[in-house]
Amino acid sequence: MKNGTRLILIASTVLALGVALVPPVVSYAYCQGNLREFSEDQQEWAAILAKKKTLQQVSDRALLRALHDEEFSAGRWHPPTCRLADDLTNFGLAGLAAFLVAFIGAHLVWLAARAFNKLMDKLQ
C-alpha cells in the first residue's frame, strides 16, 4: 500500500468517525439538559397545581413552558426522550457514506494528480 493511499485511508477514517460519533454525543448531552430542565419545571408546576406554590414563586422558565404548552400546564407530562442508539445508527450510516465519498474522491484526485505529474515528466 502506497503512502498516499494510507494517508487517504487515515484521513477518511478520521472524518467518518467524526461524522458518526460527535453529533450523537452532542445531541444526547443537549437532550439530557432538556430533560433535566423539564423535570425541574415539572416539579415546580406540580407544586402550583397542588397549590403549594404561587405563580410568583415559580421560575420564569416553568411559567413560559406552561404558557406555551397546554398539556404541561394541565399536568399531563410528556418528558423528552433521549435515544442515543437511534442517533448512533443514523449518524453511523452518514459516517459510512462520508468515508466512502472521502476515500473514493480523494483517491481519484490523488490518482489524477499522479497521472498529470507523469504526463508532465514525459513531456519534458
pLDDT tens digit string along 73-107?
Answer: 888 888 888 888 888 899 999 999 999 999 999 98
SS3 81: coil
65 — pLDDT class (breaks 50, 70, 90): confident
Average pLDDT score, the chain: 88
SS3 80: coil
